Amino acid sequence: MQHALEGTDLSERLLALWDEQDKEQSLEAHLAADADQIDLILNLVEERNLGNSYAEKWLEAALPRLRTKEGRSLAARIVQSDHCDWWFKGKDREWWVTRGRG
| pLDDT grade for 34, boundaries at 50, 70 and 90 | very high
Whether 22 is covered by a domain: the verdict is no
Whether 97 is covered by a domain: the verdict is no
Whether 69 is covered by a domain: the verdict is yes
Chain segment 76-86, per-residue pLDDT in tens: 999 999 888 87
Whether 64 is covered by a domain: the verdict is yes
Domain that holds residue 56: 30-85
Q: How far apart are CA 79 and CA 98, in angstroms?
A: 31
Whether 20 is covered by a domain: the verdict is no
Taking a C-beta distance cutoff of 8 angstroms, is the pair 62, 40 a contact? yes
Quick one: how far is CA 29 from the chain centroid? 14
pTM exceeding 0.85: no
Is residue 93 pLDDT above 80, yes or no? no
pLDDT at 73: 97
Whether 41 is covered by a domain: the verdict is yes
Whether 13 is covered by a domain: the verdict is no
Task: Count up the domains in the chain and report the number.
Answer: 1
pLDDT at 101: 76
Whether 45 is covered by a domain: the verdict is yes
User: Which residue type is seen at 50?
Assistant: L
Chain segment 50-67, per-residue pLDDT in tens: 999 999 999 999 999 999
Q: Encode the chain in three state secondary structure.
A: CHHHHCCCCCHHHHHHHHHHHHHCCCHHHHHHHHHHHHHHHHHHHHHHHCCCCCHHHHHHHHHHHCCCHHHHHHHHHHHCCCCCHHHHCCCCHHHHHHCCCC
